[in-house]
Chain A
Amino acid sequence: MILALETSCDDTCAAVLTPEGVIRSNVISSQGVHDQFGGVVPEVASRQHLQLVNAVVDDALTTAQTTLDDLTLVAVTQGPGLVGALLVGVATAKAIASVRGLPLAPVDHLQGHVAASFLPGVDAEGTGHTPPLEPPFTCLVASGGHTFLAHVGDHASFDVLGRTLDDAAGEAFDKGARLLGLPYPGGPHLERLAADGDPEAFGFPVSDQLAGYDFSFSGLKTALLYKLRDLSDAEAGARRADLAASFQRAIVEALARRVERAVLTTGAERVSIGGGVAANGALRARLAGVAGHLHIPPRALCTDNAAMIGAAARHVSALEPGEYDDLDAYPTGRRDL
């Protein structure tokens, strides 16, 4: 059995997978303590990870109906992410593997989001299962921390086609939500508000002027800010759902048009999505027809989770005991896309 740990941001995650990559448990302990601060506080997140991590591991083992005795591999997110948060997972995984004499697979968090597509997905209705996706495919990963489009040629790596030049898509959702007076985390709140609005009511920029596959979302936030200034308080209040729907549409269009461009240019027949923003219903609907096959991971595999780290670990060369004593975490920004 593979035990995987993921602590790169504010979710404390552990999962157990079979050596063949079948998920036996996927435990996600969302901290919730950050809502009151309107964002993730790194030191608060790190403290919470340490409080929760051993219980989350126990929970993952129990749910998988297995024990530490059955483990053959320990996997852990090495980076990128909040380094203090990552270190809790890295120190924990190293210690478990070391005392048990097990190999350890350090996994890149972004490779993990790609590897979520190596696990079964859901159909368009979100009810039935679809088989795991095999490379090659085109993958869009969009979350609060990262947004990129990649060509996935094999199980162990990916080639970046384009990336965000400023804010991540999830960050844009959060910033838009804050401007609209919605609580943190903004993405799900904004999606709910947008459901009652007209996405065509306001024309927000979709960074079409950018050639290639890169993204930019900072101008979108500014456009919403100016729009809110132009409207009277009463009008802005009355049209919040329209503003949310139009804002969401701009993010979805920016993402979808790059995917379409990639499909047309590279002839990719299969597309997958990942990251927290891939849980967005409007994005899923918009992408449904862009390629011959769209792979959609279940929501629990889109947001940060340890099952995707375990899935990626199956294709990483693991370090043997004694080889990972000095393994360190790496922060956001060190790994250039």
Chain B
Amino acid sequence: MIVLAFDTATADTAVGLATGGAAARTARHTPASGERPGHVAQLLGLARGLLAEAGIGWAEVERLGVGTGPGSFTGLRIGVATARALAQAGGQELVGVSTLEALARGVASAPDVAAAPGRGVDPTVLACLDARRGEAFVGAWRGDALVFPPRAVVPEALAGLLAGRGAWRAAGDGSVRFRAQLEAAGAHVPPDDSALHHVSGARLCELALEASPAGHDTLEPEYVRAPDAVPKHLR
């Protein structure tokens, strides 16, 4: 099955195209430091580029996968709106995948983890994104198994979440931001410049292949946090 999957929940725009057989093709835009995310300006062009590389058109894509977050509300909506409309007008199957699970999957399949002593035992992975306002979006997996579902927490709560559950690995821009708290709680955090802190298009494609299709007018982001319901003119 030919799968195009993308994620815009973090500052990155990550895209993957799996055509079966060989490894998925991937593309990513990461804003320079201080630059705003480029989701709406990057997403279609990156996707079109991968399709061109593979020598196929939109019509040959059979399934679309989109990261449902949690993450930046505006970023999420750009990804989900794009995926819903592509599926609506292109007729592809549409699936939502967890952004945090894609991050966790990236760590679990990293070569150094696979080669680590005691391999065969999946590490527990905390996917951790900077949720702004001093909070982190976190979720944890061991292999395919959910340890706890996505939520927004203050960094002080991380130690409590990790306590007594053995060795942890953490990934995502939130693990970099809250490195001190995570390491104090015993988690292993890859170096700041590690690719493991970015959502991989290949992992998105894997998860998209495993997921069940959703409706093009019902798939929703996993916001986790409620909107601030204060009208513009009263702020």
Contact status B41-A46, CB under 8 Å: no
Chain A CB count within 10 A is highest, among B40, B45, B85, for: B85
Segment at the interface with B among A88-96, A237-245, A255-263 = A88-96
Interface flags, A102-124, vs B, CB<8A=1, else 0: 00000000000000000000000
Residues of the B chain whose Cβ atoms lie less than 8 Å from the Cβ of A329: 40
Interface residues in B78-131 by Cβ distance below 8 A to A read 78, 80-86, 88-90
A99 to B217, CA, bound (A): 17
A-B contact count (CB 8 A): 119
A325 to B44, CA, bound (A): 5
Among B48, B88, B223, which residue has its beta carbon within 8 angstroms of that of A96?
Answer: B88
Contact status B78-A87, CB under 8 Å: yes
Contact status A44-B229, CB under 8 Å: yes
Contact status A84-B77, CB under 8 Å: yes
A46-B77, A92-B85, A99-B90 are known contacts. Are A54 and B227 too (CB-CB below 8 A)? no
A99 to B221, CA, bound (A): 22
Interface residues on B, range: 35 or more
Among B78, B80, B90, B229, which residue has its beta carbon within 8 angstroms of that of A41?
Answer: B229
Interface residues in A43-72 by Cβ distance below 8 A to B read 43-44, 46-47, 50-51, 53-55, 57-58, 68
Which chain A residue shows the least CB distance to B76? A50
Contact status A38-B58, CB under 8 Å: no
A93 to B229, CA, bound (A): 28
A326 to B43, CA, bound (A): 8
Residues of the B chain whose Cβ atoms lie less than 8 Å from the Cβ of A42: 232
Q: Is B233 an interface residue (CB 8 A)?
A: yes
Residues of the A chain whose Cβ atoms lie less than 8 Å from the Cβ of B228: 41, 43
Contact status B77-A328, CB under 8 Å: no
A91-B77, A322-B48 are known contacts. Are A57 and B88 too (CB-CB below 8 A)? yes
Q: Is B42 an interface residue (CB 8 A)?
A: yes
Q: Is B74 an interface residue (CB 8 A)?
A: yes
Residues of the A chain whose Cβ atoms lie less than 8 Å from the Cβ of B234: 38-39
Residues of the A chain whose Cβ atoms lie less than 8 Å from the Cβ of B217: 54-55, 58
Contact status B89-A43, CB under 8 Å: no
A50-B220, A51-B220 are known contacts. Are A39 and B88 too (CB-CB below 8 A)? no
Q: Is A189 an interface residue (CB 8 A)?
A: no
Among B58, B81, B84, B229, which residue has its beta carbon within 8 angstroms of that of A87?
Answer: B81
Contact status A96-B89, CB under 8 Å: yes
Residues of the B chain whose Cβ atoms lie less than 8 Å from the Cβ of A39: 231-234
Residues of the A chain whose Cβ atoms lie less than 8 Å from the Cβ of B40: 87, 90-91, 94, 327-329
A183 to B11, CA, bound (A): 39
A87 to B74, CA, bound (A): 8
